[in-house]
Amino acid sequence: MSVVNERVRPPRPAPSLLILGAAVALLCVALVTWSKWWPYVFRTMDIAATGAVGDPILAGAAGGAAGTHPIAAGWDFAVTYTLAVWKALLTGLVIAAAIDALLPRAWLLRLMGDGRRPLRSTLTGALLGLPTMMCTCCAVPVTAAMRRRGVPAAAAFGFWTANPMLNPAVLVFCLLVLPWEWTAVRFAAGVAMVLCVAAVFARSRESVPEPDGTARGAALPATPAGEPGPASAADALRRFARTFTRMALILIPEYLGIMFLIGVAQTWVSPADWGAWAAGAVVLAALAGALLAVPTAAEIPVAQGLYHAGAGLGVVGALLVTLPALSLPALIMLRRAVRPRELLLLSAAVVAVGIASGGALALLAG
């Protein structure tokens, strides 16, 4: 007697769920177009015509730190930053809720890998991060949702790193207003940081999901692997709304509070503190850039402002790289996405790349 083994296929989603999924996907594309693609088209034309990206958001780079009351500076920075990024932050929250509530975990793992090939996972995440073009803070909700759904850390953090560092629009802005050496260093640093993500998570248990499919230490409570998917479009919408509300209530208060503190701290940053190019100044600049937060492309006027104020090329190169790549608010909001050791290693790698970038820029353009 012969036995025919048939592969058991998972149940197909109901048509209403497929329609809802398509509608949410279109909504996400529309939000990215509204918050990023369309504004960047006009901004690129404006930069090409004027040769200026804007004023530095950091008071020290603009020469306005002296005499500014820390509380007033903190409030002004938090308001200015929020007004600059609220569209992208809203977009990130919607995409994150869609990932968490609507995308099957098996689809995500099939696309982004299971963590056993960290370079492949990192590059896949980085490619997915190119069109969203977010700053580190706005990419946090999506990164956290990926980890919650069991996506390996290499892929999630590849996405997070590529958003600010390989942002096509920012690279175009750099080509329009900066010397070619600055743009080359900025691009090379972005590629190096993506490769650092793969290296950090190459042998890390954090990069491979738990046996039950959950991500260890996700930023939000992980849903059980055996939990059934949404039974209907109404159920999926409820999940989406619940996830969006929960993430907003967790991340936005943290975001606003930390931005206020960053605004207070940046009053201590002054062009006079940086001096000429020297190893100590470059290290200090790389560390400061890794802690401070700026909106997308805001590192360009900051670097220009400090350079014109007398900062050395090493300092400028370090800030041009570490300001967009990392920030204390993003690190705090992602503190449960991976173990602290991996987050610390990744931060150290970013600072090291920033220091090397400062040295490279000083050699190329000095």
SS3 content of the chain, % helix, strand, coil (to 5): 70, 0, 30
Best CA proximity match to 329, nearest among 81, 151, 149:
81
pLDDT of res. 68: 67
pLDDT of res. 61: 56
pLDDT of res. 221: 45
Q: Could you read off the pLDDT tens digit of each residue along the chain, which spans 366 residues?
A: 444 444 445 555 566 667 777 888 899 999 999 999 999 999 999 999 998 888 777 755 555 555 567 888 888 888 989 999 999 999 999 999 999 888 888 888 889 988 788 999 999 999 999 999 999 999 999 999 999 999 999 999 999 999 999 999 999 999 999 999 999 999 999 999 999 999 999 866 554 545 444 444 444 444 444 455 565 677 888 889 999 999 999 999 988 998 898 888 777 766 445 555 467 889 989 999 999 889 999 999 999 988 888 888 999 999 999 999 999 999 999 988 888 999 999 999 999 999 999 999 999 986
Note whether 350 and 326 are within 8 A (CB).
Answer: yes
> What is the pTM assigned to this prediction?
0.87
pLDDT of res. 283: 92
- The answer for residues whose C-beta is within 8 angstroms of residue 362's C-beta and 6 or more apart is 277, 312, 313, 314, 317
pLDDT of res. 213: 44
| Measured distance CA(366)–CA(362) in Å, rounded | 5
pLDDT of res. 8: 45
Distances in Å between the Cα of 328 and the Cα atoms of 130, 273, 323, 331 are: 22, 21, 10, 5
- Under DSSP, the state recorded for 225 is T
Note whether 219 and 338 are within 8 A (CB).
Answer: no
Tally Cβ neighbours within 10 Å of residue 242.
Answer: 13
- The answer for residues whose C-beta is within 8 angstroms of residue 268's C-beta and 6 or more apart is 60, 65
pLDDT of res. 287: 93
pLDDT of res. 114: 80
Note whether 233 and 16 are within 8 A (CB).
Answer: yes
Sign of CA dihedral 146, 147, 150, 155: positive
